[in-house]
Every structure is written in structure tokens, then in C-alpha cells.
Amino acid sequence: MFGKHTYEEIMSQGEAWQQSLLHAEREIDMIKEIITKPWPEVVFTGCGSTYYLSLTAASRWQEITGIYARGVPGSEAWLYPKSIYIDSAPLLIAISRSGTTTETLRAIQVYKEHYKLDPIVISCYPESDMMVQSRYPLLAAGGQERSVAQTRSFSSMLLMTHYLTWVAAKQDNEQTNQLIKLPETFEKLISKYEGQMKDLAQNHSLQKYVFLGSGINYGIACEAMLKMKEMSLTVSEPFHFMEYRHGPKSMVAEDTLIIGLIHDATRHEEMKVLSEMKDYGATIMAVTESADGITADYIVEMDSGIDVMYRGPLYLPTLQLLAYYRAIEKGLDPDNPTNLTTVVELND
């Protein structure tokens, strides 16, 4: 059956998040020692999905801790370290579902050789090279997958970066309570919106998908774009909300679906972008905490009560389902994206 694994992996994210959080609580003492040092900067790195994860994790880290943070592709940290690092050593946090992606492993090697320090590594496979060779491994338990496109692995590793941020910021239990609420909200969200995502995916007049997200939501918009491409071979692009006006909107027409990942603090400006695109003929979907005051053709209301800083994983499941159902609709197998393998391993 097409997409069997992808579907199971999307639908089991609530459980995966629970397992990941339980595991992190047991393992965190080892990592606390390094994470709470006074770092001048934090660099997150990964490839593909895990690079996008690095973007959102870095924005969140900087907003919450006040420490300068950046997300960079593994290949850049490997091949162009001078454009990434300066003299003072940053904390490196490397993320890889497989723990075997060559570019990420080489980025770690360059960092270790240059600074004589060990990074924190996050992966779903405890026996992988990256995890075994690290003094500070953090397992996203429950995130392992049989499909190529990352779904529950991504959201579980994202949750682990939320957890690390919480530890680094020495926040009180109120914030972990927020993380604990994620799995139950996931279940409600998915049962309420699965049917709508299936219907939307079957709309053949929509040929171009655009994902808008700003601040902490930009990396998530990129990941949603990647799911749509990998699983369903649909033309899809991510942009920061306000950037979309600066040229890309020329492409908007009646075949365009614009999906906005609404941030609580800037929803007013973001909605203005969406309604302008509606005037150009686009179909609009908003993924938002509250539907109050939101006008769109489709609204996914999270209604989670969770602070926007800790809500990241909830933006994704409906969009993963949209990609999944679109692939099925086009007769493609979401478990086996065209030209892709689970890991990119390079020869010398």
C-alpha cells in the first residue's frame, strides 16, 4: 500500500513526542553541564530537514536565552568554516535523523579539530556514528522512521531543541508543562483537520504551494515546503511573510495556494499579506493558534493554550498530511520520494 509508513509515522507523533520528552528528562543532567556554560554564540547545523530545523531552533534559542544563535547547513560548516566561525568558540548543536549524513559528520569533525570541543548531537538512532562518537548525545526517542521523508523524526528532534532551550534558559516548570501539553493537542488537531487536508489535496486547480512563516516559524515553513516537494512533487516555495511582497507575489494566480503559519505577535501584519494575495486570486490557508479575526479559505486552529515559543511541532502535522494526501492523489508513493534516499552519504 502506498504511503503506509509515512501515514503511520505522521499519525503517531503524539506518542513519539511523549517518549522523547520522557527520555530527555532522564538524560539531561549530562548535557546540562555543557549547555549552561556562558557561550558567546550557539550554532545549529544539519542537512535538508535538519537544516530547516536548525533555522527554527536558532531563532527560538536567541529569542528565549538572549544568546546569539544561527542555523547553518552542515555542508557550509564543513566546507566554509571561516564564513561560519570566529575566534571565540560557539556551542555547536548538530542534528541528524540518521546520525550518518556525511556533511553533518564532517561539520562536527571541523568544529572538534578547530576548537577541541565536543558538540551536542541530536538524532533518532543511538547507535549511529554521530551519537556513539559524542560526549553529549540527545536521543529523540520514538522518532525513528521507515520512510524517506522526515515527519515524526523532525517534530521529535524539534521538540528536543525546545527542551534544550528550556534548560539553557533555566526556565521554570510552567514551560515544561507547556511541552507536556503538545501530544494531547496533536491528537485533537489531527482528528479535527485530517478530512479537510484530504479534500484540499484533491483540488487539482491548485498547482503552486507557497508556505509563509516568519521569525521562529520560517524554518517550519521551509520544512513544510520540503515535505510537499519530496512526497508529492508539487512546486512549492517558502518565504518570510513580508518578503513575499518584494517580488515573489508576481507569481500569484488562481492556481496558487498560500499557507500562512501565523505567529501570535505579528498576526496583524501577516494577515494583511494573506489578504493581499487573496485579492490577486490565491486560495488562502492559515495555521493559527486562534481563528479570531482571521479570514481565510481554510483555517487550522490549534487552540492549544501553548506559548508560541513552545508550539513549533504543532504547526506541522496537518501540513504533513496535506503533502501525504496530495502524493496519493497524484498516484505517487509518499514512502519513496522520487530520486531520494534516506541519507546522503558521500564518498571521498
Residues in the chain: 348
> Does residue 96 interact with ligand F1P by CB under 6 A?
yes
Interaction between residue 94 and ligand F1P (CB under 6 A): no
List the one residue from 20, 75, 150, 288 that touches ligand F1P (CB under 6 A): 150
Among 6, 13, 45, 50, which residue interacts with ligand F1P (rule: CB under 6 A)?
50
E strand map for the chain: 41-46, 68-73, 91-95, 120-123, 136-139, 208-213, 235-239, 256-261, 283-288, 298-301
Burial of residue 180, with CB atoms counted within 10 A of its CB: 0-12 exposed, 13-18 middle, 19 or more buried:
middle
> Of these, 148, 284, 296, 309, which contacts ligand F1P (CB under 6 A)?
148
CA dihedral of residues 209, 214, 220, 222 (deg, nearest 10):
50
Q: Is 233 in the site for ligand F1P (CB under 6 A)?
A: no
Residue 180 binding ligand F1P, by CB under 6 A = no
| Listed ranges 200-208, 262-270, 282-290, 340-348: which one lies at the site for ligand F1P (CB under 6 A) | 340-348
Q: Which of 35, 57, 92, 149 binds ligand F1P (CB under 6 A)?
A: 149
Q: What is the DSSP string of 205-258?
A: T--EEEEEE-GGGHHHHHHHHHHHHHHH--EEEEE-TGGGGTTGGGG--TTEEE
Residue 343 contacts ligand F1P per CB under 6 A = yes
152 binds ligand F1P (CB under 6 A): no
* Cα–Cα distance, 267 to 260 (Å, whole number): 10
Amino acid, single-letter form, for residue 225: M
Which of 20, 21, 23, 48 is the binder for ligand F1P (CB under 6 A)?
48
**Considering only 21-29, 144-152, 187-195, 297-305, which stretch makes contact with ligand F1P by CB under 6 A?**
144-152
Q: Where along the sequence are the contacts to ligand F1P (CB under 6 A)?
A: 46-50, 96-98, 101, 104, 148-150, 230, 340, 342-344
